[in-house]
Amino acid sequence: MVQSFDDILERIKTHKVTDLVLFICFCLIMTIVVSSQNFFFQRIIENGISKKDIVAQKTITVIDTKRTDQHRQQVIQNIEPILIPAEDEFIKVNLDTLQTSIQQIRQKDTTDAAKKDELSLLFDISSKERKDYLANYLLITNNQNLQKIFDKAKITLVKVLNVGITESSYEDGKLDKIIQRNIPANTPRNQITVITALLKEIITPNLVVDDLATEIAKKNAQNSVKPYEVVFHKGDKIVFEGEPVTKLKKDALREAGYNVLELNFWGILGIFILVVFSTFIFLQYEKNFEKVFYESHHLTIAGFMALFIAIIATVIPTGFSPYILPFPAFIIILSIFTNARIALFAATLELAILTVGLHYGIEFVASFLLINTVSMIAISKIKFSRRFDLIITGLKISLAGVLIVSCVYLLEKFLIDIDNFLIFRDLLMIFINGILSGVLALGTLPILESTFGIITPYGLAELADHNQPLLKRLQFEAPGTYHHSLMVSNLAEAAAEAIGANPILARVGSFYHDIGKLKRPLFFVENQSYFGIENPHTKLNPRLSKMVITAHPKDGVELAKEYHLPSIIHSFILQHHGEGLASYFYNQAIAEEGIENVKEEQFRYTGPKPNMKETAILMIADAVESAVRSLKTPSNEEIEEIIDKIIKERLNDGQFSDCPLTLKDLKVIATTFNRILRGMQHNRIKYHQAIVNQLDNTKSSSSAMDSDFEAKIKQLEQAKENEKDQG
């Protein structure tokens, strides 16, 4: 039983369980924050009933949406469908066809009874008596009279079709009246009956409803309805104790500054699921596409910023403009600690959670999607040379935000009537938002840097200042090491930029990689020549010398902690030699003790090996610069051979096994080092002796000309004095 309990404790201590607990805690806290407005609402209203009298502290005007909607529905119902004429030529053709059919039946060589039965089939009339009357009339009338009937029917049909027949024309005998009103005057009654029956058989509606035009007419009528407004003056009671809180009263309470959101258990559960899903998606994105930032510190900053935005969203009053939410600050800060892609992705997920949880409008969502995209682009263009550039970036976001919100409201004004004061308020808020976001980022960056121990480009720029205390000490106490660090930094920065690594980080890490030599500066050869002292290692055995030399990474980390350098700089200090071999003292020990008494492991640095591209570049640059400096006047071929030799030695020794450098990267690094070192090691050109002689001759001629010129000046001055004396 005890053993199983210990196993459970061990499992709890694992990273996976810890990460799961932190994941659940974050989701619970975010859910509580977003849904907290529900609890504020319960303070004044419970189960839809007001718990106390609430008095208006200012004049409030709200729209009675219920009455407005009812009026709009009435207006829509009163709109008659808009009809357009349809094709009616086939109706006239049907009349000709009917006439031909009747004539053919009359001419058949059959009995009158058979003809009568066949004629009655042409009419869809329920009354048998009327059907028999029409059949008899059409059978016994003469051809001349029958032709008159059809002539009048054609005239009547044209008039009826011009009037227009709709579906409703068939209701309550309306079609009979329409036909009879358009039959020519002085038509006998019996012919009127026959013509009406004939036309009813062929007439179909020739006016159809234009659905689009009708819908537009209804929309126009609906928009023309002015909203019903209800005014609560200052001192009026918005709701009374025990009164049911209707939608109108909720709108009034919202305008008064009260929260009126209601979330039951299922609503809160829905928000929790949304938060869990969004957080999981964000973690998967980082794990699959941004592995460099998939670590606790960066995730903690992202979670902290998300909670910060959510808290502001829930704290601001309901009637206040949501355009003050500092999403640009969220993107600026997170972009500096990670990158702009992660920041935009996180801000989009945060926007989705708040929109669902706090019921933001579609215009707000659309505006901030565009504003967040602008913020991402703006911060990605910044050079991180001056912190004040964050304020300028915030100003750019402000101007872009004003333009975006203006366009959104301009489009909305075509659909609904929006108060101009509301538009001005939101434009002012988004303008202030951008500038405050820049100020907020400027003020919180140093705090976040020190709290989470993550170095930002601005922090790197500050560490690169040569007035930093450690660099000052290095300059005066170990000048040779200081000069070496400067040369290495130039190499590392150029190589990092060439392979797509972080050049600023490589440069700053190179500045501090040898600060451990400050503890014993005279034991390192680059400082001995500067102070003009004898090499102290000549009096030490190789093993003791190795201990002194290989201790400088550890000494450097102790100094870095003392001067509060960020942890990423510690990596440069510890990893710039990796687990490499101190070959000089190793070979010296072999010469003194014999190869059988010396092991390589005893003369290796303690490591660890480089685990970043930047620290691996530093390892190569450090060795290459020292090797090239040891030569007096190396040729280009010698420089290239030294670089290739050092890279191959480190590669074969397995020093790059933990870092993501590729063979292509190593080739680019070698090419870059070769180019820079050639420039550093250039020889001065010796001028040809003939050129020197020519310069000397030119100088002599110039001197002679100057002497002649001075003599002439003196002669002129003497002549002027003589003229004065004569005068």
The residue with tokens 């002027």 is 720
- What are the pLDDT digits (tens) for 694-720? 545 544 544 544 555 455 445 545 555
Lowest average pLDDT, out of 155-159, 269-273, 410-414, goes to 410-414
Q: CA–CA separation, 626 vs 610, rounded Å? A: 19
Is pLDDT above 50 for 687? no
Is pLDDT above 70 for 691? no
Is pLDDT above 50 for 563? yes
Rg, C-alpha atoms of the chain: 48
What confidence score (pLDDT) does residue 416 get? Answer: 57
Does this model's pTM top 0.75?
no
- Which residues have a Cβ under 8 Å from the Cβ of 120 and sit 6 or more positions away? 131, 132, 134, 135
Work out the pLDDT band at 609, boundaries 50, 70, 90: very high
Report how far Cα 374 is from the mean position of its chain's Cα atoms.
Answer: 8
DSSP β-ladder status, 60-63 and 49-50: unpaired
- What are the pLDDT digits (tens) for 200-248? 888 877 777 777 877 887 788 777 778 878 888 877 888 887 788 778 8
Q: Count of residues for the chain?
A: 727
Q: Residue 188 — left, alpha, or beta (φ > 0 → left; ψ -120 to 50 → alpha)?
A: beta
Amino acid, res. 203: I
High-pLDDT (> 70) share of the chain, %: 85
Is pLDDT above 60 for 341? yes
Is pLDDT above 80 for 380? yes
Q: Which residue has the higher pLDDT, 686 or 395?
A: 395
Report how far Cα 454 is from the mean position of its chain's Cα atoms.
Answer: 23
Work out the pLDDT band at 481, boundaries 50, 70, 90: very high
- What are the pLDDT digits (tens) for 150-185? 888 888 888 887 877 777 776 666 788 888 888 888
Helix, strand, coil tally for the chain in percent (to 5): 70, 5, 25
Q: CA–CA separation, 235 vs 127, rounded Å? A: 75
What confidence score (pLDDT) does residue 689 get? Answer: 46
The residue with tokens 């870092």 is 659
Mean pLDDT, residues 535-547 taken together: 88
- Which residues have a Cβ under 8 Å from the Cβ of 725 and sit 6 or more positions away? none
